[in-house]
């Protein structure tokens, strides 16, 4: 097997490939045209953030079987194009945990003591002791938005500085938060109580501009902000206004909405803003970790047929895929559906397999459920390989039950979640052994194709409600593709599930919630599920 390494990679990773019997060609700095010329000679390619593995590169790689990213982010890889070509895409989640957490804390300390500004002043021949009055971190409150591997380790380091740590993560149970020594709070409370706020979430449509003018208005005067996660989570324009006013005392960024950041970016001209050029993962140890990890994953895939760290295929033996694939799709879509209906941290997940599904190997199906549950918020950082570990680190107890009664169906998957003091139930099956359907949601009998965009509305069972909902959707140009009504008994609360041709405007939910007969509204997006 010939492997192309097109970005700088630790020699330890190259050594792993060569010991495995591969030919590893290190060709860094290739132009797009040069990459297109040579990619057809290789069975796999390993990149970092520099090489853009676009659809045309993938199409030119007639021999490509695997694309590996020595790191976490896959913004530079067209995963959809790779999937269409049957090419496995792998990354190395977790390899940058320690170094990114350490960089976060380094920025917090540097920001609180104005170290970069004081260093620049001293090097300029000044001695301005009174100009750089700092702030102690001792017994200050650190608010962590996101408590995955990096956020949890930042908490550990901050506790070593005797900081009080509070955190918000919709997938972290209260029990797990307590074990980490973190007080779990809702987001607005975190904003209001924190002296320092650090974000550790992926960039998704839900987290883009998560910290904006509204959020900053809730914060203490003199709060400090850190972003070593992804550019765009903190609204840069709103931050500039807060830094030039009296609200935010200082901010420190390792990431920006647009990178490389432009020299005339307004934030760069502020004395109370410090930054680094996306170097959170740039340590020798981290680069060795991800290089060795991706090389070992390549060896395992080509020599043993074992898929680890894959983001676009389930980790099951290839000969099992034809039989398992429709069930994997059902399982992931059920998880994705249920995840978007739950408030609070998930504490327990029970997956029951009945009928023909009970005869299958349950492990990959349960993993698919977990991926579906976690992906709506964590997105690219969770996959079919690391989903169980991610769930474990969040204190989610996972149970499997096989041999249950399938009732009127040939096979069923039942999903039960415990979140806080509530339990949620979902049942799915396959029609004609291949078409996923949800047939029960919290005791409401339904028949829903779990795909695309939909609205889930609980409403008073009263004439005219459906007409009101249809009118509001029409007023917002949200086209209905299908509709499902359900109720448990006559006169009880009803469930209305509406399939839409595309994502509705966010204001649709507010307009629906304003109706007296509408009890709750959820916008569901299953368009990215398997």
Which of the following is catalytic: 69, 168, 200, 278?
278
522 closest CA partner among 504, 97, 530:
504
C-alpha–C-alpha distance, residues 62 and 67, integer Å: 13
pLDDT at 360: 85
- Tell me, what CATH number does 70's domain have? 3.40.50.720
Q: Residue 264 and residue 437: Cα distance in Å, rounded?
A: 53
pLDDT at position 314 is 59
The beta strands (E) that lie in 38-108 are given as 44-47, 66-69, 88-90
Same domain? 266 vs 134? yes
For 475-489, how does the pLDDT look when each residue is reduced to its tens digit (9 = 90+)? 999 999 999 999 888
Q: How far apart are CA 113 and CA 72, in angstroms?
A: 31
Number of domains the chain contains: 4
C-alpha of 472 from chain center: 32
State residue 518 phi and psi, 5-degree precision: -95, 120
**Per-residue pLDDT tens digits for 54-69:** 999 999 999 999 999 9
Residue 269 DSSP symbol: G
Q: Which of 18, 136, 259, 447 is catalytic?
A: 259
Same domain? 297 vs 381: no
pLDDT given for residue 363 in this prediction: 84
Judgement on whether residues 74 and 134 belong to the same structural domain of the protein:
no
Tens-digit pLDDT string for the chain (530 aa): 999 999 999 999 999 999 999 999 999 999 999 999 999 999 999 999 889 999 999 999 999 999 999 987 787 899 888 877 878 899 987 788 999 999 999 999 999 999 999 999 999 999 999 999 999 999 999 999 999 889 999 999 999 999 999 999 987 877 888 889 999 999 999 999 999 999 999 888 889 999 999 999 999 999 999 999 999 999 999 999 999 998 999 999 999 999 899 999 999 999 999 999 999 988 999 999 999 999 999 998 898 777 778 887 655 655 666 778 899 899 999 999 999 988 878 899 999 999 988 888 888 899 899 989 988 877 666 776 577 878 888 889 999 999 878 888 999 999 999 988 889 999 999 998 889 999 999 989 999 999 999 999 999 998 999 999 999 999 999 999 999 999 888 878 999 999 999 998 888 999 999 999 999 999 999 987 76
Q: Which residue in the block uniquely carries the two structure tokens 């139930």?
A: 425
Residue 318's pLDDT is 54
The verdict on whether 259 is a catalytic residue reads yes
Both 328 and 307 in one domain: the answer is no
Query: What single DSSP character describes residue 315?
Result: S
Of 69, 176, 230, 394, which one is the catalytic site residue? 230
The pLDDT of residue 120 is 95
Q: The CATH number of the domain where 379 resides is what?
A: 3.30.1330.90
Q: Residue 325 catalytic?
A: no
Q: 352 and 379 in one domain?
A: yes
Residues 6+ apart with CB under 8 A from 231: 203, 253, 255, 256, 257, 258, 259
Same domain for 164 and 214: yes
Name the 3-class secondary structure at 507.
helix
Residues 309, 320, single domain; the answer is: no
Output the domain CATH number for residue 501: 3.30.70.260
Task: Say which residues have a Cβ less than 8 Å from residue 382's Cβ, sequence separation at least 6.
Answer: 93, 371, 374, 375, 390
**Of 450, 466, 493, the domain-final residue:** 450
Domain termination site, one of 420, 450, 480: 450
CA distance 439 to 244: 55
423 and 463 within one domain: no
* pLDDT at residue 398, as a whole number: 94
Determine the structural domain holding residue 420 and report its residue range: 316-450
Q: Domain boundary residue among 247, 275, 303?
A: 275
Q: Are residues 106 and 161 in the same domain?
A: yes
Per-residue confidence (pLDDT) for residue 321, from 0 to 100: 63
- The answer to whether the predicted template modeling score (pTM) of the entire model surpasses 0.85 is no
**Is-catalytic flag, 12?**
no
The sheet with strand 141-145 has its strands ordered as 183-184, 164-168, 141-145, 196-199, 223-227, 248-253, 273-275
Give pLDDT, residue 478: 92
Same domain, 128 and 259: yes
Q: Does one domain contain both 507 and 377?
A: no
324 and 237 part of one domain:
no
């Amino acid at each position: 097997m010939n492997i192309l390494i097109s970005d700088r990679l630790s020699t330890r990773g190259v050594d792993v490939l060569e010991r495995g019997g591969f030919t590893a060609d290190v060709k860094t700095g290739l132009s797009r045209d040069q990459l297109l010329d040579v990619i057809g000679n290789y069975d796999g390619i390993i990149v970092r953030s520099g090489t853009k593995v676009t659809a045309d590169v993938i199409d030119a790689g007639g021999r490509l079987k695997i694309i590996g990213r020595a790191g976490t982010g896959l913004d530079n890889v067209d995963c959809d194009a790779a999937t269409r070509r049957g090419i496995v895409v792998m990354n190395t989640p977790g390899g940058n945990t320690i170094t990114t957490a350490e960089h976060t804390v380094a920025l917090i300390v540097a920001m609180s003591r104005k170290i970069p500004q004081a260093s620049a002043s001293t090097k300029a021949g000044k001695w301005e002791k009174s100009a750089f009055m700092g702030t102690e971190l001792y017994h200050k409150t650190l608010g962590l938005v996101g408590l995955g591997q990096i956020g949890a380790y930042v908490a550990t380091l901050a506790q070593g500085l005797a900081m009080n740590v509070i955190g918000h993560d919709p997938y972290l149970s209260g029990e797990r938060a307590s074990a980490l020594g973190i007080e779990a709070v809702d987001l607005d409370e975190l904003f209001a109580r924190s002296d320092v706020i650090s974000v550790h979430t992926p960039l998704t449509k839900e987290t883009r501009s998560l910290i904006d003018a509204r959020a900053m208005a809730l914060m203490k005067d003199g709060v400090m902000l850190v972003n070593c996660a992804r550019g765009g989570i903190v609204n840069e324009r709103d931050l500039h206004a807060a830094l030039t006013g009296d609200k935010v005392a200082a901010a420190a960024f390792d990431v920006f909405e647009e990178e490389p950041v432009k020299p005339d970016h307004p934030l760069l001209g502020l004395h109370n803003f410090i930054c680094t050029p996306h170097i959170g993962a740039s340590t020798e140890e981290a680069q060795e970790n991800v290089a060795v990890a991706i090389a070992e994953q390549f060896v395992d895939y080509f020599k043993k047929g074992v898929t680890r760290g894959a983001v676009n295929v389930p980790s099951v033996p290839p000969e099992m895929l034809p039989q398992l694939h429709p069930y994997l799709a059902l399982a992931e879509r059920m998880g994705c559906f249920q995840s978007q209906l739950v408030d609070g941290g998930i504490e327990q997940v029970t997956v029951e397999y009945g009928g023909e599904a009970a005869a299958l190997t349950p492990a990959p199906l349960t993993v698919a459920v977990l991926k579906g549950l976690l992906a709506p918020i964590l997105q690219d950082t969770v996959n079919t390989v690391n989903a169980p570990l991610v769930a474990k680190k969040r204190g989610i107890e996972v149970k499997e039950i096989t041999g249950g009664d399938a009732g009127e169906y040939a096979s069923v998957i039942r999903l039960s979640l415990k979140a806080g003091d509530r339990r949620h139930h979902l049942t799915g099956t396959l029609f004609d052994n291949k078409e996923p359907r949800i047939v029960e949601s919290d005791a409401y009998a339904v028949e829903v194709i779990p795909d695309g965009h939909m609205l889930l509305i609980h409403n008073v069972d009263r004439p005219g409600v459906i007409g009101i909902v249809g009118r509001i959707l029409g007023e917002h140009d949200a086209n209905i593709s299908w509709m499902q009504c359900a109720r448990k008994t006559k006169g009880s609360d009803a469930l209305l599930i509406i399939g839409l041709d595309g994502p509705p405007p966010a204001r649709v939910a507010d307009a629906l919630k304003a109706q007296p007969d509408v009890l709750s509204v959820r916008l569901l997006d299953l368009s990215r599920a398997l």
